[in-house]
Amino acid sequence: MRRNTSITLLSVGHACVDVYQGAVASLVPFFVAERAYSYATVSGMVLAASLLSSVVQPVFGVLTDRRAMPWLLPVSTLLGGVGIALSGVSGSYGLLLLSVAVSGVGVAAYHPESARIARFAGRGSHSAMGWFSTGGNVGFALAPLMVGAVVGAGGLRLTPLLVLPALVGSVLCLPVLRALGRRQAAGGSAAAPPGEDDRTSFVKLSLAVACRSIVFVGLSAFISLYARQRMGDSATAGTVALFVLYLGGAVGSVLGGTLAGRWGRVAVARWAYLVSTGTVAGVVFVPGPAMYLFVALTSVGLYVPFSLQVTLGQDYLPSRVGTASGITLGLAVSVGGLISPVIGSLADATSLRTALTPLILMPSVCWLLFRALPEPPAPHHGTPPDSRTDDTDAPPAPARPAR
């Protein structure tokens, strides 16, 4: 199987998993409308989806460093879908939290091993990892459309239909796993020995990822409700805002991988966070439909560093790639989910605008942390990409790995 065929299938599978991360925020307005939940109550859904991820994802990262577990990809994909499918079946808030938590565990178990496999399949290319991350962002973007079409048409009782992407994703990853298994058996996984770990830089990077998580997950949880308030209580306005927020992430991931090949990962991420400080302020304070422009710019700005942070973490901890992937990808979701109930409680006590205002500071903190990070040399993964004959179907103008 050609390299880019593998990356394409993994990217689509990633979309089928991350649609369930986006589905949690997409379901919030429907639970508010059908069950009259408060801001603090619905933010508990986001917390339930994120709480176990904050522990489970790094744990699976450690496990995949000790032993490859490719079977996690189809199993965790199904688990993520089943949890969301069951979320609207029962009227019990406790069962709702349990089902969303099950989905969160499935999504958390998927990411460390899938990132390891994507790195191996893409042979260390930042561009390949960017396309893999883009798949997840497309899944995020499709979530509000999928939930709106299914739940908007028939109410929460139709959530079992939302399991369909999980069925597709679990099937798509199977040929990739078989092909990579044959490649490993033939000795295709040979690579240079891992370099020395830079724990200090990895800690700084993790703090930046956590701050990014707070602003992005915070916006994801409440941007739909905020847009509905700003646009005359229009349900369509809320769905569009969430769709734009997620779709911009797909653009940002591809753009980040391309720019990093020219200017380096650290520099590109640093400037992206500096720009995001202003765009988040625009989301909160600019009135009228212009808010959508700032939502799009914020999404692009926050996602330009996303795949770059994954490969940076892997290069800062080259001896523990699974652990690095589990922590960077886990923090990208879990920390923001832990803070969401605080935002919800503040919104109940004051207003959504007041509760969202502190998010403006988070990209600035990321910018300061990235100013202290070095650009690590990207390790070689076997034969340089330019010398292979299996890259003929590569995406246009792939960026070279930063050295």
Look at the chain and count its residues: 403
Q: Write down the pTM of the prediction.
A: 0.72
Tell me how far apart the alpha carbons of residues 239 and 255 are, in angstroms, rounded to a whole number.
25
Q: Which residues contact 228 (CB under 8 A, 6 or more apart)?
A: 29, 234, 235, 237, 238
Give the pLDDT score at 312: 92
Give the pLDDT score at 254: 82
Give the pLDDT score at 392: 36
Please list the alpha-helical segments (H only) found in 186-234. Answer: 199-230
Give the pLDDT score at 3: 65
- Assign domain 3-183+194-377 one CATH number from 3.40.50.261, 1.25.40.10, 1.20.1250.20, 3.40.140.10: 1.20.1250.20
Q: Which residues contact 212 (CB under 8 A, 6 or more apart)?
A: 273, 302, 305, 309, 332, 362, 363, 366
Look up residue 25 and give its two tokens.
């925020």
Give the pLDDT score at 294: 96
Compute the Cα dihedral for 147, 153, 157, 162 and give only its sign. Answer: negative
Low-confidence residues of the chain, pLDDT below 70? 1-3, 52-54, 124, 126, 184, 186-194, 330-333, 378-403
Give the pLDDT score at 194: 63
Domain boundaries, the chain: 3-183+194-377
